[in-house]
């Protein structure tokens, strides 16, 4: 039950007056500062300020594109990167926000480079180089403030690489199997990098892994469903189901257990299973109403079993 609602019900049931109600609220801690606020608030504001400053720099350069010379644009972005890195070296308390600015400056520099010189490089190459150059900053910062956007940058690069090498088509063909498996493996290896197993060296918390798992589930599930409904090949579908099943097995272990990540992977597995059943039912000319009822029943059973399994595993982690 909500603590505030319980206090109000207790005051009403005992017919407390205004002064007694205030005393009860003080005992419940309503007037005290939330736990950890003095630690999280300045850091959260600093991270938000860093993100706004970095994005503002990119937007400002774009807005003043015609007014700044080529060398002036490069000099401005590079100066921001250098100043942010020096500031992170001098002011250790503000290291993560300042290195976030440096990371965004790297992205702005590559975006400007690609826009200015038109090298013909694919977009995935810019994101890949951005992720590689930002990796030392993440290792120095040892904070989710950098690892989380780094995971987003890397996943974007992997997705663009898969699209570029599959002839810019989202349809699954026989020659695309190796591309799919390579892309999935690259993103899952990135998840392993930010997992608790390497947290001693990377300093990562839970959020980079959670974001990586969510993006991996979207990528793998989407590829499996595309193969299921757009081609006659069943191997990508079963490969996607197998990869997610192995990921779920790893997340069930004590070292890697995370209820958020496990729930995301379980959702992907359920989606693949339900869609696979739907493909079987409706491709074979079954009665549509009976098929819908069977599909709904199967989805409900899968959901119930999944929820019960996750709750059981979560209770085992409880002290």
pLDDT tens-digit profile of 232-272?
Answer: 666 788 888 999 999 999 998 888 888 899 999 999 999 99
The answer, yes or no, to whether residue 178 has pLDDT greater than 80, is yes
Number of alpha carbons in the 13 Å side-chain half-sphere of residue 42: 4
Q: Answer whether 282's CB lies under 8 Å from 246's CB.
A: no
- Model pTM score: 0.80
Nearest-angstrom CA–CA distance, 42 and 154? 28
Share the mean pLDDT of the chain.
82
pLDDT digits (tens, 9 = 90+) for 100-156: 889 988 888 887 777 777 666 678 888 999 999 999 999 998 888 899 999 999 999
Residues 6+ apart with CB under 8 A from 188: 216, 243, 247
């Amino acid at each position: 039950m909500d603590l505030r609602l319980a206090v109000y019900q207790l005051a009403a049931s005992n017919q407390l007056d205004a002064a007694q109600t205030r005393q009860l609220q003080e005992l419940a801690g309503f007037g005290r500062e939330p736990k950890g606020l003095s630690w999280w608030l300045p850091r959260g504001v600093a991270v938000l300020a860093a993100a706004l400053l970095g994005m503002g720099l990119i937007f400002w350069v774009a807005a003043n594109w015609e007014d700044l010379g080529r060398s002036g644009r490069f000099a401005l972005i590079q100066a921001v990167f250098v100043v942010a890195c020096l500031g992170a070296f001098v002011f250790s308390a503000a290291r993560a926000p300042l290195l976030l600015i440096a990371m965004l400056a790297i992205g702005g520099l590559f975006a400007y480079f690609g826009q200015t010189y038109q090298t013909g490089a694919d977009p995935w190459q810019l994101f890949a180089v951005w992720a590689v150059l930002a990796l030392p900053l993440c290792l120095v910062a040892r904070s989710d403030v950098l690892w989380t956007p780094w995971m987003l940058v890397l996943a974007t690069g992997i997705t663009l690489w898969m699209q570029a090498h599959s002839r810019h088509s989202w349809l699954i063909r026989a020659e695309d199997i190796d591309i799919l498996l390579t892309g999935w493996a690259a993103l899952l290896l990135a998840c392993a990098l930010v997992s608790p197993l390497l947290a001693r060296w990377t300093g990562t918390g839970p959020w980079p892994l959670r974001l990586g798992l969510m993006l991996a589930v979207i990528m793998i599930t989407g590829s499996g469903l595309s193969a299921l409904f757009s081609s006659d090949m069943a191997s990508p579908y079963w490969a996607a189901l197998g990869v997610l099943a192995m990921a779920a097995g790893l997340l069930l272990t004590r070292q890697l257990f995370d209820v958020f990540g496990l729930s995301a992977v379980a959702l992907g597995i359920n989606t693949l299973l339900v869609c696979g059943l739907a493909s079987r039912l409706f491709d074979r000319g079954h009665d549509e109403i009976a098929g819908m009822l069977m599909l709904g029943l199967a989805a409900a059973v899968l959901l119930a079993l999944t929820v019960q399994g996750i709750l059981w595993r979560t209770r085992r982690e409880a002290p």
